[in-house]
Chains A and B, each alone.
Chain A
Amino acid sequence: MEMMPGQFMLGKIDDVARWAQASSVWPLTMGLACCAIEMMSVTNSTYDIARFGSEVFRASPRQADLMIVSGRVAQKMGPIIKRLYDQMADPKWVISMGACASSGGVFDNYAIVQGVDTIVPVDVYVPGCPPTPDGLLYALNLIQQQIRQGGRGGILAKA
């Protein structure tokens, strides 16, 4: 839509805020294992996560909205992930990417956390080993949908 000088639009603050929020979900720069390779490839021109406004992977959890748990979570990594999640400012979302992050996957052993949802609340699980970049993009779309529909974590939503 083209806006001419002097024109204006009316809208509810809630809707505008949600639109802005859903269009700029910034992920945290955090790769854990092989799923991180697929996560990186969504930034490439083939998949291009920038189409959805999420190309800005932030190195600081203070500036990130979305945590993509991309890979198996080692017992030693668990506390670090929890800490990063706590350091992210509200509202924040979590994608559990792949079988290992969601359930431990094939690593049914002492060293791996059996599902990252035992540590942080997960909004969307992406199945696959590893999931395709399209799968991850779809998960992002679901989170955007949640935000637009006023799901958990919207700027005016009750905590």
Chain B
Amino acid sequence: MPSSQVPSIAGTALDPTAVRPEIADAEIERIAPVQLRARLAELRAEGFTMLLDIGGVDYLEREPRFDVVYHLLALPDRPATVAEVGVPRRLRLLVGVPGDPASLPSICDLWPNADWAEREIYDLYGIVFEGHPDLKRIQMPSDWVGYPLRKDYPLRGPAREATPRPAFALKSNVPAGTPPGGKVAAALQKQIARARGQVAGNGEKP
């Protein structure tokens, strides 16, 4: 997607019903969690046979807190020629999920590849998918506590968050325009000056 088409999330992120501005490559639809399974089953029957991915977003201060995004693709049914293939339809389905308890119905029976995608979202956001055959962590170690992609999860992990980051020397105390110091820099400066003819005599001893 060219950058000119990237929809701005400012303004829409905090509006629970907002649908992103239209973009060229996909239809976008926002529905409520109760409609989710019925709508997805309908879309699957309509020809969206491929579930590309499921994504999660945490808006933290928004209500509902999370968005789960289903990316669907409709491929034409067995085209006879290349010309018949056409442009596949893409659809992005957004579902708002409240923070507590965060749960959604699983869609593993509609698209079996939803299995790992739902596990990943459970692993990183803590959204429970009701009816999932084997909902356990997939990326993080199985005994991990917490959901790392939540916005309120400390970046360095709960155990290390209190320890200070190592301080790095900043060069801001050197005034701007100060020439670099040291022997190598001095030799370079001399070379440059000589090349510009500012030092009289060629081959003169320094």
Please give me the residue from chain B that is nearest to A79 by CB atom: B141
Instruction: Give min CB distance, B73 to chain A, whole Å.
Output: 31
Chain B residues touching A, majority SS:
loop
Interface pick from B7-15, B154-162, B177-185 = B154-162
A8 at the interface (CB under 8 A from B): no
Report the interface size for chain B: residues with CB under 8 A from the other chain.
12
B148 at the interface (CB under 8 A from A): yes
The answer to whether B148 and A110 have CB atoms under 8 Å apart is yes
A46 at the interface (CB under 8 A from B): no
The answer to whether A110 and B141 have CB atoms under 8 Å apart is no
Report the interface size for chain A: residues with CB under 8 A from the other chain.
8
- A75-B141, A76-B140, A76-B141 known; A110 vs B165 contact (CB < 8 Å): no
CA distance A108 to B157 in the complex (A): 10
A111 at the interface (CB under 8 A from B): yes
A45 at the interface (CB under 8 A from B): no
Instruction: Give min CB distance, B121 to chain A, whole Å.
Output: 17
The answer to whether A109 and B141 have CB atoms under 8 Å apart is no
Q: Which residues of A contact B (CB under 8 A)?
A: 75-76, 79, 108-111, 114
Q: Which residues of B contact A (CB under 8 A)?
A: 139-141, 144, 148, 153-157, 160, 165
Q: 10 other contacts beyond A108-B156, A110-B156, with CB at 8 A cut-off? A: A75-B141, A76-B140, A108-B165, A109-B155, A109-B157, A110-B148, A110-B154, A110-B157, A110-B160, A111-B140
